[in-house]
């Protein structure tokens, strides 16, 4: 693990589109087995060998991530379905990493499971939630997870544990704006720490309608009102990231970051799949840079192949259609 890069240095690198010497953030696909089958999920559009990552392989991968600060144990599956997820988190923590995961929350249905997760040292858990009232047919079918989230927050307080930070991950979908605002208010009322809002990726379901530019701006104005009313952090790449001074700076300087020309993920993030293959993004199954077990991350990260990808990634159809991390909206090209 490395010391976390200071905000001014990170901001400087992003402002001038400079890759870090080694990624600050690595996502590990610990499993691609899932207990849900969501229509919007990338797994429906790619070929996968369905399995858990071998735990010994997992440890070998983690041992080769010196210099990385944050590990996110999330891939195409439900990370809490992995039989050794608690051991995996503890192993990462023993090596000094900040550890995160993203889950649908359905498997946290017993106090013992929640307590084990809290005691593991997990730093942040993000729950994918698109509605608190009704099943959204294209999104996560996990209304039952809401009670599990509430119980986790209650047990955190009972155990006097500051971690994990609890985040709700949700989407902007046309006609579902009130669902989005309801999720935020539900989070506030139940003690959630942060909300993360993303655009719906049209690479998956091209017939899903999204808020247009004007409608997005109206949503962002409501975010501003909710932030002020509840003092809640609401992150959205196209609107504002962070809170306080950092949030103010991002909101007013984001147009200088050239996110429409350069993917925000390419300079300090990498993805590692079940086999140890290093890729720039979870969605790019055919864009392996190198296998981590055959090299080291610093060499892979700074390789000619990775740098060429950074320069030419918008020539790849998936990347050219993706606006999850860009400021400007795109229309899908078919």
Residue 56, judged by CB atoms within 10 A of its CB (0-12, 13-18, 19+), counts as exposed
Residue 219 sits in a domain whose CATH number is 3.20.20.70
Q: Is residue 185 domain-resident?
A: yes
Question: Per-residue pLDDT tens for 31-73?
Answer: 999 888 777 777 777 777 789 999 999 999 999 999 999 999 9
Which domain covers residue 116, as residue numbers? 7-321
Question: Per-residue pLDDT tens for 180-215?
Answer: 999 999 999 999 999 999 998 888 777 788 899 999
For the chain, how many structural domains are there in total?
1
Q: Look over the chain and give the mean of its residue pLDDT values, rounded to a whole number.
A: 89
Question: Element (H or E) spanning 124, and its range?
Answer: strand 124-128
Between 67 and 242, name the one with better pLDDT: 67
Q: Can you give the pLDDT at residue 9?
A: 67
Number of CB atoms found within 10 A of residue 315's CB = 9
Q: Is residue 331 domain-resident?
A: no
Q: Is residue 206 domain-resident?
A: yes
Between 258 and 250, name the one with better pLDDT: 250
Q: Is residue 220 domain-resident?
A: yes
Residue 294, judged by CB atoms within 10 A of its CB (0-12, 13-18, 19+), counts as exposed
Q: Residue range 233-253: average pLDDT?
A: 85
Q: Can you give the pLDDT at residue 334?
A: 44
Q: In what order do the strands lie in the sheet with 98-103?
A: 233-235, 194-199, 165-172, 124-128, 98-103, 70-72, 25-28, 269-272, 277-279, 290-291
Place of tokens 């055919």: 286
Q: Is residue 170 domain-resident?
A: yes
pLDDT of 1 above 70: no
Question: Per-residue pLDDT tens for 124-175?
Answer: 999 999 888 876 666 677 889 999 999 999 999 999 999 999 999 999 999 9
Distance between CA atoms of residues 224 and 218, nearest Å:
10
Question: Per-residue pLDDT tens for 78-122?
Answer: 999 999 999 999 999 999 999 999 999 999 999 999 999 999 999
Q: Can you give the pLDDT at residue 182?
A: 94
Residues present in the chain in total: 334
Q: Structure pTM? A: 0.92
269: phi then psi, degrees, rounded to nearest 5: -140, 145
Q: Is residue 326 domain-resident?
A: no
Using alpha carbons only, how large is the chain's radius of gyration in Å? 19
pLDDT of 241 above 90: no
Q: Is residue 1 domain-resident?
A: no
Question: Per-residue pLDDT tens for 307-322?
Answer: 999 999 989 998 988 8
Distance between CA atoms of residues 184 and 192, nearest Å:
9
Q: Is residue 96 domain-resident?
A: yes
Q: Can you give the pLDDT at residue 77?
A: 93
Place of tokens 């030419």: 312
Q: Can you give the pLDDT at residue 50?
A: 85
Q: 200: which residues sit within 8 A by CB, 6+ positions away?
A: 40, 171, 172, 173, 208, 210
């Amino acid at each position: 693990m490395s010391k976390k890069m200071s905000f001014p240095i990170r901001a400087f690198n992003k402002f001038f589109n400079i890759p870090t010497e080694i990624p600050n953030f690595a996502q590990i696909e610990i499993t691609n087995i899932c207990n849900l089958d969501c229509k919007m999920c990338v797994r429906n559009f790619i070929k996968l060998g369905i399995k858990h990552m071998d735990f010994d392989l997992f440890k070998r991968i983690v041992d080769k991530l010196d210099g990385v600060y944050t590990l996110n144990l999330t891939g195409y599956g439900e990370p809490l379905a992995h039989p050794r997820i608690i051991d995996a988190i503890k192993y990462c923590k023993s090596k000094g990493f900040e550890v995160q995961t993203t889950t649908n929350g359905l498997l946290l249905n017993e106090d013992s499971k929640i307590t084990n997760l809290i005691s593991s040292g997990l730093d942040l858990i993000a729950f994918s939630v698109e509605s608190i009232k009704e099943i959204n047919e294209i999104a996560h079918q996990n209304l039952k997870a809401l009670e599990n989230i509430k119980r986790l927050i209650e047990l955190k307080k009972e155990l006097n544990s500051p971690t994990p930070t609890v985040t709700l991950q949700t989407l902007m979908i046309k006609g579902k704006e009130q669902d989005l605002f309801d999720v935020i208010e539900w989070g506030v009322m139940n003690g959630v720490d942060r909300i993360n809002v993303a655009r719906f990726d049209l690479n998956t379901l091209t017939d899903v309608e999204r808020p247009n530019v004007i409608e997005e701006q109206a949503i962002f104005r409501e975010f501003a009102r909710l932030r002020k009313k509840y003092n809640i952090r609401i992150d959205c790449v196209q609107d504002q990231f962070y809170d306080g001074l950092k949030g103010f700076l991002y909101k007013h300087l984001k147009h200088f970051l050239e996110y429409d020309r350069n993917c925000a993920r390419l300079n300090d993030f990498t993805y590692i799949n079940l086999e140890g293959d290093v890729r720039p993004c979870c969605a790019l199954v055919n864009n392996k840079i190198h296998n981590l077990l055959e090299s080291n991350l610093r060499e892979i990260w700074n390789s000619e192949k990775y740098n060429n990808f950074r320069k030419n990634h918008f020539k790849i159809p998936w990347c050219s259609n993706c606006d999850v991390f860009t400021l400007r909206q795109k229309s899908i090209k078919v």
